[in-house]
Chains A and B, each alone.
Chain A
Amino acid sequence: AQSVTQPDIHITVSEGASLELRCNYSYGATPYLFWYVQSPGQGLQLLLKYFSGDTLVQGIKGFEAEFKRSQSSFNLRKPSVHWSDAAEYFCAVGAWEVHSGGGADGLTFGKGTHLIIQP
């Protein structure tokens, strides 16, 4: 079965500084990878996704992520964070081949990284 590890439970970054959130996955074939953001008490919003092709993907709110197959990683980056970026960030993987029906299966999520922005 696939799994996702987000090694950092909490990360504190100064406003204006760069950000990198780590995500490692375990899956035998090419995964479908996602980053979601969750503000307190809210649902999840999709930041970006990787299905295939260019391994550097751009998302909303100035975020990007790079898929590195050799490292089984899909780290999220932002060159300059804003106070409004404080939130919980989740990495997720979808495994196409696990069941028939492809994308109808649910995603497997990491436990999340809580991002704190210092003024």
Chain B
Amino acid sequence: SQTIHQWPATLVQPVGSPLSLECTVEGTSNPNLYWYRQAAGRGLQLLFYSVGIGQISSEVPQNLSASRPQDRQFILSSKKLLLSDSGFYLCAWSVGIDYEQYFGPGTRLTVT
């Protein structure tokens, strides 16, 4: 069966510090991968999606970036965090042309 992992589960970082969040998927090949951010009262916002290694599409301009160094690994990064980057970050995957997405447990990021 397929599983999706995210780490860390929680993170407290000062403004201006770098960020690296990791997401890995097991039990499937060539998944589509997604990063969403969930801010209080604002639902989920799609940040990035990837259909293959090295292929990243950005939905929202910001100081975040994403990379996909391996087929089942998706990384969310920032060189300098802002207060507004605080939120709950969710990684998700889907397969092929199926819109059904499966979500990881999330990472709670607090920027202080």
Instruction: Give me the interface of A with B, judged by CB distance under 8 Å.
Output: 9, 32, 34, 36, 41-46, 49, 51, 90, 92, 94, 96, 101-112
Q: Report B88-112 residues with CB < 8 Å from chain A CB.
A: 90, 92, 94, 96-106, 108
Q: Given the complex, which residues of A lie within 8 Å of B104, measured CB to CB?
A: 43
Evaluate contact between A42 and B106: CB separation under 8 angstroms: yes
A110 to B43, CA, bound (A): 6
Residue of B nearest to A101 (CB): B51
Task: Provide a sorted-by-A list of 17 A–B residue pairs whose CB atoms are within 8 angstroms.
Answer: A43-B103, A45-B103, A46-B101, A49-B99, A49-B100, A51-B99, A96-B99, A101-B51, A103-B94, A103-B96, A103-B99, A104-B49, A104-B94, A105-B49, A106-B46, A107-B44, A107-B46
A107 to B46, CA, bound (A): 7
How many B residues have CB within 8 A of the partner chain? 27
Evaluate contact between B43 and A109: CB separation under 8 angstroms: yes
Contact of A111 among B42, B96, B100 (CB under 8 A): B42
A112 to B44, CA, bound (A): 9
A26 to B100, CA, bound (A): 19
Evaluate contact between A102 and B97: CB separation under 8 angstroms: yes
A79 to B102, CA, bound (A): 26
Residue of A nearest to B55 (CB): A104
Evaluate contact between B32 and A103: CB separation under 8 angstroms: yes
Asked if B34 is an interface residue, CB under 8 A from chain A, the answer is yes
Residue of A nearest to B43 (CB): A111
Contacts A42-B106, A43-B103, A111-B42 hold; do A106 and B96 have CB atoms under 8 A apart?
no
Residue of B nearest to A114 (CB): B41
Q: Given the complex, which residues of A lie within 8 Å of B97, measured CB to CB?
A: 101-104
Asked if B36 is an interface residue, CB under 8 A from chain A, the answer is yes
